[in-house]
Amino acid sequence: MKLLIILCISTFSFNHVFATETGEEFIYPGGVYVKEISFDQFQNGFHYLDMKVPTLKKNNSYYLLFGIPKDIDLDTRNFNLKNGDEDYVITLNLKKKSFGKQYINISKKFTEPTPDALDRIIRERNILNLARNKWVSSDIDTNFILPVIGQISGVFGTERFYNNKKGNYHNGVDFAASIGTNIVAPSSGKVLLTGDFFYNGKFVYMDHGMNLKSIFIHMNTITVEKGDFVNKGDVIGHVGNTGKSTGPHLHWSVTLNSVYVDPMIFVNNTIIH
């Protein structure tokens, strides 16, 4: 399920600091760009628009991890970041990636929500946005394990049609599994939020550190609480069929700098060599 693209990035010498490619990259919409940085840059931190960008230390070196927006125009070359008060421009040659389509039949209550349901959806979206903006300063382990053992029934990035009506692209990976199957933390982190929402059903929202986050939805039971720190491999709940779901499965999404990226990039793969 992993697509590896090795790409050489051209560098320029304008008045900004330009990032250069340092190793194997996933340079496509919904992918991840990794760049070695200095200790001072690591200390100053990075922002993209209003979003904090993850950094990490590994083997006495420091790295920037930048999530590439899925809906970015392929002609976009420059991403304007801030490193403290300094401009920091990443220049990328984005590769085209085919994501495919998926057609799903689902209850009309999800495609045509009532006014009361819409009010609930808005309230829950605001709660999630508050958690999305939280920052947990802890080291990142980017070598993820699978959160559940099951057949992959939905991949990242597909264009989805619900009852033949176009919806949002699929922002995660689906694993079909029996109700009650264990769900484990793919990497260590802090539980930011749990709940039972209209679309998500029962869910757990985690921060793995430095704005690298996971959300696990459509769960049957939840075994952790907000504020808990869990280690990689710890059980956080069980597979279910709650919320906007057509059968027992786990939906798992990952965000970097608040941008959805393909979770499978991190599975059994150290993206920094």
Residue 174 has pLDDT above 80, yes or no: yes
- The conformational region for residue 267 under phi > 0 = left, psi -120 to 50 = alpha, else beta, is beta
**pLDDT tens for residues 180-190?**
999 999 999 99
Gap between the Cα atoms of 85 and 89, Å rounded = 13
Confidence at 3, pLDDT banded by 50, 70, 90: very low
Q: What is the rounded average pLDDT for all residues in the chain?
A: 87
* Per-residue pLDDT at 121 exceeds 70: yes
Predicted pLDDT of residue 133: 85
Output the pLDDT for position 25: 62
β-partners of residue 229 are 190
Q: What is the pLDDT of residue 98?
A: 85
- CA angle at 235 for the pair 121 and 195, rounded to the nearest 5°: 15
Prediction pTM value: 0.87
Residue 245's identity, in one-letter code, is: S
- Contact of 180 with 239, CB cutoff 8 Å: yes
Q: Is the pLDDT of residue 167 over 90?
A: no
Are the C-beta atoms of 189 and 183 separated by less than 8 Å?
no
Distance separating alpha carbons of residues 247 and 119, to the nearest angstrom: 26
Which domains does the chain show, CATH number per domain? Answer: 17-91 (2.60.40), 101-265 (2.70.70.10)
Taking the alpha carbons at both ends of the chain, their separation in whole angstroms is 20
Q: What's the rounded Cα separation, in Å, for the pair 45 and 171?
A: 26
What is the rounded average pLDDT of the residues 30-40?
94
Backbone torsions φ then ψ of 119, nearest 5 degrees: -60, -45
pLDDT tens-digit series, residues 88-112: 999 988 888 888 888 888 888 898 9
Dist. CA 219–CA 167, nearest whole Å: 22
pLDDT level of residue 26 (50, 70, 90 thresholds): confident
